[in-house]
Structure 1
Amino acid sequence: MGTTRTTGTARATSTTRTLLGRRHAAAAALLCLTTLGSPPSAHAAPVPTVPAGGDAARRAAAADAGAEVAARRLARRPAGAGLAFGPCPAAEELPSPVRCATLRVPLDYARPDGPQIPLTVSRVPATGRGGAARQGALVYNPGGPGASGLFFPLVADLPEWERIGAAYDLVGYAPRGVAGPAPLSCEDPAAPAHAGPTPLPADPSPADKRARIAAARAYARGCAQRSGAALAYYSTPDNVRDLHVLRAALGEPKLTFMGASYGTYLGAVYATRHPGHVRRMVLDSAVNPDPRRIWYRNNLDQGAGFERRWRDFLTWAARHHAVYGLGTTPAAVRASYERVRDAVARAPAGGVVGTGELQSAYLRAAYYDEVWPERAAALSAFLAGDPGPLTEQARPDPASAAARENSRAVYTAVMCNDAPWPADWAVWDRDNTRLARRAPFETWANAFLNLPCAYWPVRERQQPVAVGARSAAVPGEQPAALPGTLVVAAERDGATPYPGALELQRRLGLRSSLVTEAGAGTHGVVGGRNACVDGHVERYLLTGATPGRRVTCAPHPEPAPVSLDDRAAGPGKVPAVPRALLPPVV
């Protein structure tokens, strides 16, 4: 986040950016594909019910007590007797100096000595460059839920993070159920229930909706069958308990945390439940934490947010009609996209890209403006008779099938366990039909992604935490004021619309600050795109100083139009940091 650049680190920096870029591109692509939903099942069986273990409030209190016991046990260990860091699992492809450790936590914190599950933790120690004093560990969660943060310590090699990496151990982790030795699963990725491109009608018919209901029931049933009673223990409260134990395992009396997207909700719930254990907290691209919006209404809010951001892409492409030839107005560019959609519905591009794959690929344009040039160029090439670029950008990667399935399983479990959802399809149909009239781009894809929550087999759902309420603190902890926190948001973010940042800041109190990137909409603001934003974040993490109640930064520049021929002449810039990776997150 600083501006210092040295030629001595240029080669390492290039390698790191390449690794991060590959992680970002692969993860974003595979996770966008989760919007397609499961294929319909030909045989609809009753969904088995998974008990959550008795009275919900009593179980939650026991789980909180169990987490406190686990954290205190770790805190009493001698220095150096905590996590044993060594080489990282080969599957993670994390180069030296990143080291990894395994943290075992209770599956059910109400039974702290019961079955355990492993969490993989990654770390690069503080470098101390420039004589910087070590300030502890900075723990990162990239959101999702369902995304892994194990890549995070790689940013230590980037100039933008040099001063932060000098003062902090950079720590990432894979949350419970994400990858590693105990991945959550709802269906067998090696035996897909369908082959070929996935259809996703722009305006689903009654028959399409019936098929999606059957698919949602089948997916929920698969989660119960493959996970059993463990399914109930993938939730935000359990993720918060894991974070509390991880803090203690790292030897930190107080948590310094950076969360993106869903990670902001995780951080906000942690701050509410454990205010006395918070040191500093950066919350980037904020989820609206209002309990009335967790999670059904937050997902409806995304429809309008993504429509606005989709129009930003169409407007940009129209301004560059001379390069792409897609039309001189947003409406004309939209018509060009619809011609492509109609064409792949009739004959999938390359035999593998149908309307579902197309939707997933172009949803990324509503998340990250860095992909606008290649997405516009792919539409242009397709309409000129060359489907190759579109096929390359939108085709599913068979090698990532297991990761996609795992990410969707964790996402679904946390979303569905966290709060009650409407159980009546008529409610979903009414709300999404109304929304799709004004926001057609992403509404139905998002609805079908989340529809398993209508048929979720866990009997006892969590009740959303009232973020910011003192009454929501864990019983038994000494009352403590929450220190100053830093919320960061892009004004036109579609995945986590801006009103959510305002609500989060309001709930975190008068000591919280909000840094807004005005006029921009890339999801995930921190990390090398906007020097103004990064300066505020760096200053806060290094000194604890917040920049004032609300400050505004000018937007980062929009991408320059680049044709496919131009891009072939050399590699494009790799994004500095993978952003929150799992759409739709809320």
Structure 2
Amino acid sequence: MRAPALYSAAGTLLLTTLAAAPADSVRTVPGAAEVRGTAVAAARARVAGIDFGTCPEAENLPDGMRCGTVSVPLDYARPDGKQIRLTVSRAPATQKDPHNSKRLLPRQGALVYNPGGPGASGMAFPLIGVLPEWKRLAAVYDFVGYAPRGVGRSAPLSCKDPGTFFKAPSQAPTHPSESYKRERIAQAKAYARGCAERAGDSLRHYTSLNNARDLDVLRAALGEEKLTFMGASYGTYFGALYATLFPSHVRRMVFDSAVNPDPEQIWYRNNLDQSAAFEGRWEDLREWIAKHDDVYGLGDTSEEVLRSYEKARARLAAKPAGGKVGPGQLQGAFLSAGYYDDYWPRRAQALSAYLKGDPKPLIQQAGPRPAAAAEAENSKAVYTAVECNDARWPTEWRVWDRDNTRLARVAPFETWDNVWMNLPCAYWPAPRQRPLDVRTGPGELPPTLILAAERDAATPYGGAVELHRRLSGSVLVTERDAGTHGVAGGPNPCVNGHVDAYLLEGRLPARRAACGPRPEPRPTAAGARKVPAAEPASR
């Protein structure tokens, strides 16, 4: 599943049969050797602990944060073989009652967090404890973040020269030509080769199952008998793998914006569902902009806003803004707004200003940032390796072309961009795994909490329902008529109340619960003059 840091309801329509990968390129899920290897690594980590000290300058974290490392096997089937080091950050529990400064609260252990990806780092997570929505939790938990294997300084993975990572300006055709498709296929093959050449034999060990095993070693290194964990987006998937592999090691788990863990969905079909869902989210954004036509002047209906957007696309295709923002960069900026409502006012203001003759806000928001190229390249490399290694993908272009051509007829906004992001998996050189069947029976796992926004496009709502069905004793809390990706700690006190009750006291609703939507974003003034309905082609 794509995370916005990496980029940039037609599921039944597209239940196609995947072209099976060659038998010798698919590995069955590892068994006894990995179980033993994880136990060996966790026992070592418990003895070694984590020597927390000053954070390295490279982490760019404030002085109050503490950092350390934990060793894990590259290959859990060979726990005495090559080791890699994962970077870890921590802010100790304040033990200060936010409502009574004279009262000290008992510490409850470590709360480990993963923000998703694959390819995102959680090293900055402990900083969030200063925000009002998190202070109660930060009082009783050590907030622990970490960079998963391959990310940041944790045995970093790379697939190409970061200096060539950003290609701007770029096109983003919603109905690409055959020649454009051939060009992107060639790029996907080259990218897959680059991953293999740079990572070598290590490439196959970047998987969700190993992320789950690493989490158990981290638990042991922190001195925790049982894990308290919050995962967002992709973090819910390997968190669910952890719950299946190590149910007796779980204390409490929060799954925020859950990935559909059905093995048949990992990962090809999940990405089809994501592309379909983003069309609805794009409609939500346009309707919001239309509601504030007096501010943005982009049209007072969704259709008129779309015409304004397409006008900008055409103009950028002819003459990129600042020489570096083309249709691809415009699409990427508005795709990120599909993840977070908070982005809506700035994106609408930038589009409005551009069409009125001022490209600066759009260049600022959508233009490539060379200083971030190394981090972005690393994130995409990890994303690609994990998703390609985790499961079988269609290996014939005709399957991708057929499925996504059909989908793009009804959901053109993200479909082909998602294809190009994932297409290296069609030509992946490393062995594939068969996804684990996420499932726990009654009494195997302590009660867990699942959070989901009803209109989330990055992880469509059906995934949370499926995870709830598979994890016995879980409770699903739904944020109604909302679509922001990641709902914990946001502006919805109902959602936050359920999170606090669970993590602080172990209390969950008796059954599925619902919260009303979060407040809509407020428009940012950008001038009320209407964009002309038509203008000379020379402009």
1:435 paired with 2:410, answer: no
Query: Which stretch of structure 1 is more off in the superposition, 545-554 or 403-412?
Result: 545-554
- Of the three residues 65, 89, 105, the one matched with 1:122 is 89
User: What residue number does 1:539 align with?
Assistant: 501
Residue 303 of structure 1 deviates from its aligned partner by 1.3
In 1: Cα distance, 2:338 partner to 2:327 partner: 17
User: What residue number does 1:555 align with?
Assistant: 517
User: What residue number does 1:64 align with?
Assistant: 35
Structure 1 residues 393, 194: closer, same or farther in 2, change over 3 A?
closer
Q: How does 1:22-37 map to 2 (within 5 A)?
A: 31-33=6-8
User: What residue number does 1:162 align with?
Assistant: 135
- Of the three residues 201, 208, 212, the one matched with 2:184 is 212
User: What residue number does 2:13 align with?
Assistant: none
Percent identity between the aligned chains?
Answer: 62
In 2: Cα distance, 1:320 partner to 1:194 partner: 34
CA contact (8 A) 1:267 1:283 kept: yes
1:100 paired with 2:62, answer: no
Residue 30 of structure 1 deviates from its aligned partner by 5.1
Q: How does 1:254-265 map to 2 (within 5 A)?
A: 254-265=226-237
Instruction: Look up the SS of the partner of 1:291 in the other structure.
Output: coil
- Of the three residues 119, 122, 126, the one matched with 1:149 is 122
User: What residue number does 1:302 align with?
Assistant: 274
Instruction: Look up the SS of the partner of 2:162 in the other structure.
Output: coil
Residue 200 of structure 1 deviates from its aligned partner by 1.8
Residue 56 of structure 1 deviates from its aligned partner by 3.6
> After TM superposition, which residue ranges in structure 1, 4 or more long, deviate above 6 angstroms?
none
In 1: Cα distance, 2:43 partner to 2:82 partner: 19
- Of the three residues 289, 306, 312, the one matched with 1:334 is 306
In 2: Cα distance, 1:31 partner to 1:159 partner: 28
Query: Which stretch of structure 1 is more off in the superposition, 90-99 or 500-509?
Result: 90-99
In 2: Cα distance, 1:98 partner to 1:209 partner: 47
In 2: Cα distance, 1:68 partner to 1:166 partner: 31
Q: How does 1:91-490 map to 2 (within 5 A)?
A: 91-129=58-96, 130-180=103-153, 182-190=155-163, 192=164, 196-458=168-430, 460-469=431-440, 481-490=444-453
- Equivalent position amino acid for 1:499 in 2: G
Residue 376 of structure 1 deviates from its aligned partner by 0.7
Residue 193 of structure 1 deviates from its aligned partner by 7.3
Residue 196 of structure 1 deviates from its aligned partner by 3.8
Q: How does 1:41-52 map to 2 (within 5 A)?
A: none
Structure 1 residues 194, 325: closer, same or farther in 2, change over 3 A?
closer
User: Once the two structures are superposed, what CA deviation does each residue of 1:112-164 show, in whole Å capped at 9, x if it has no partner?
Assistant: 11111110000011111132111110000000000000011001222221111
Instruction: Look up the SS of the partner of 2:432 in the other structure.
Output: coil
In 1: Cα distance, 2:155 partner to 2:95 partner: 35
1:504 paired with 2:476, answer: no
Instruction: Look up the SS of the partner of 2:251 in the other structure.
Output: strand
- Equivalent position amino acid for 1:530 in 2: N
Instruction: Look up the SS of the partner of 1:293 in the other structure.
Output: coil
CA contact (8 A) 2:168 2:368 kept: no
User: What residue number does 1:576 align with?
Assistant: none
Residue 395 of structure 1 deviates from its aligned partner by 0.4
Query: Which stretch of structure 1 is more off in the superposition, 247-256 or 192-201?
Result: 192-201
Residue 31 of structure 1 deviates from its aligned partner by 2.2
CA contact (8 A) 1:30 1:397 kept: no
| Gapped regions of structure 1 (runs ≥ 5) | 1-26, 34-48, 471-478, 567-586
In 2: Cα distance, 1:517 partner to 1:353 partner: 35
Structure 1 residues 414, 28: closer, same or farther in 2, change over 3 A?
closer
Structure 1 residues 346, 61: closer, same or farther in 2, change over 3 A?
farther
- Equivalent position amino acid for 1:64 in 2: V
- Equivalent position amino acid for 1:563 in 2: A
User: Once the two structures are superposed, what CA deviation does each residue of 1:190-233 show, in whole Å capped at 9, x if it has no partner?
Assistant: 2x178541222121000010011101000000000000000000
User: What residue number does 1:521 align with?
Assistant: 483
Instruction: Look up the SS of the partner of 2:201 in the other structure.
Output: helix
Structure 1 residues 410, 457: closer, same or farther in 2, change over 3 A?
same
User: Once the two structures are superposed, what CA deviation does each residue of 1:515-547 show, in whole Å capped at 9, x if it has no partner?
Assistant: 111000000001132111001001100111112
User: What residue number does 1:82 align with?
Assistant: 49
In 2: Cα distance, 1:196 partner to 1:528 partner: 33
Residue 304 of structure 1 deviates from its aligned partner by 1.5
In 1: Cα distance, 2:157 partner to 2:227 partner: 27
In 2: Cα distance, 1:156 partner to 1:496 partner: 25
- Equivalent position amino acid for 2:314 in 1: D
Structure 1 residues 29, 416: closer, same or farther in 2, change over 3 A?
closer
In 1: Cα distance, 2:511 partner to 2:123 partner: 32
Query: What RMSD over aligned residues (CA atoms) do the two structures have, in Å?
Result: 1.9
- Equivalent position amino acid for 1:31 in 2: L
In 2: Cα distance, 1:528 partner to 1:187 partner: 36
User: Once the two structures are superposed, what CA deviation does each residue of 1:172-205 show, in whole Å capped at 9, x if it has no partner?
Assistant: 0000000116310000112x17854122212100
In 2: Cα distance, 1:298 partner to 1:153 partner: 30
Of the two structures, which has the highest relative contact order with CA contacts closer than 8 Å and spacing of 6 or more?
Answer: 1
- Equivalent position amino acid for 2:523 in 1: P
- Equivalent position amino acid for 1:162 in 2: K
Instruction: Look up the SS of the partner of 1:121 in the other structure.
Output: strand
CA contact (8 A) 1:276 1:480 kept: no
User: Once the two structures are superposed, what CA deviation does each residue of 1:421-448 show, in whole Å capped at 9, x if it has no partner?
Assistant: 0001000000000000000000000011
Instruction: Look up the SS of the partner of 2:53 in the other structure.
Output: coil
Structure 1 residues 487, 193: closer, same or farther in 2, change over 3 A?
closer
> TM-score if structure 1 supplies the norm length?
0.84
Structure 1 residues 539, 481: closer, same or farther in 2, change over 3 A?
same
In 2: Cα distance, 1:195 partner to 1:86 partner: 39
- Equivalent position amino acid for 2:290 in 1: A
CA contact (8 A) 1:374 1:563 kept: no
Instruction: Look up the SS of the partner of 2:514 in the other structure.
Output: strand
